Amino acid sequence: MPRFAYVNGRYVRHADAAVHIDDRGFLFADAVYEVCQIRHGFIVDLTRHLDRLDRSLGEILIRPPMPRAALVGIMKEVLRRNRVTDGMVYLQVTRGTARRDHVFPSPEVRASLVVTAKALSAAAGAEKYAAGIKAVTVPDNRWERVDIKTVGLLPNVLARQQAKEAGAQEAIFVDAEGNVTEGGATNLWIVDKAGRLVTRPADRAILRGITRTTLIDVAAKLGIAVEERRFSVAEMLEAREVFVTGATTICLPVVSIDGHAIANGHPGLTAQKLRDAFFAVAEKTAI
């Protein structure tokens, strides 16, 4: 079955989808994006994702391409055309297409919008969870506004490639003080030696992950306290559990970092409890 995408007012075959070579997302990474999980025919945490999209657009002064209701309608139509009931939907908004110039184009230039979707195997995700993943630490050399979900992800790309070449699946960024920030495409959590669930505060050093936010709600429902504070690489390596969270992975245990086994080298119980309870707590919007 062919895939379909939405590009600036048109639904087109995915293979034929294209933007202009002067699109500012292509030229300058002058764009933001969002990714939502699709599970059992529902868009997960849609309101929070679109609230964050609005924030990202506001932070870099891009006008929304359309009202929210129209955007949701397009997302649902792309999902229907691709027959996705379990997977993801991706949307990207750029400042638009204009003559190459670092300053903003004329206000008459409209933002560009691309929406795509694809199915993901739930079984494959479960297998990855059961095994856990390996990670490596890398210096955090990103710009100082990673709280904005922009498409400027070159440091993340290089970090993820470094992880792959080391036989790992995620890179963990470490700041100049030796404290963990987050993963290359995830937020990071530990269960410390005292059994406390810890994650870094959502300041400008990390992206305020939507899954991260909902998992704090999940933890509250389960009676698990969450401590938002900084923690070092050394504390992470001594933790009872380490796991990463993201829209398409939800909660994924890390069983080895820089070749060092975390606890007994197997996924832990806290991550399992949070993962099992996530979908019941998360907002669900029917396609």
Residues classed as catalytic: 149
Are 231 and 200 contacting, i.e. CB atoms less than 8 angstroms apart?
yes
How do the residues of the chain divide into helix, strand and coil, expressed in percent and rounded to 5?
Answer: 30, 30, 40
Are 168 and 133 contacting, i.e. CB atoms less than 8 angstroms apart?
yes
Q: Which residues contact 156 (CB under 8 A, 6 or more apart)?
A: 142, 171, 184, 185
What is the Cα–Cα distance from 77 to 85, expressed in whole angstroms? 12
154 C-beta neighbours (distance < 10 Å), count: 11
What is the Cα–Cα distance from 17 to 284, expressed in whole angstroms? 29
Q: Is 101 left (phi over 0), alpha (psi -120 to 50) or beta?
A: beta
Are 175 and 120 contacting, i.e. CB atoms less than 8 angstroms apart?
no
Helix or strand run (H / E) with residue 276: helix 269-281
Work out the angle at residue 164's Cα, subtended by the Cα atoms of residues 162 and 170, and round it to the nearest 5 degrees: 85
* 3-class DSSP state of 138: strand
Helix or strand run (H / E) with residue 89: strand 87-94
What is the Cα–Cα distance from 139 to 180, expressed in whole angstroms? 9
What single DSSP character describes residue 63? P
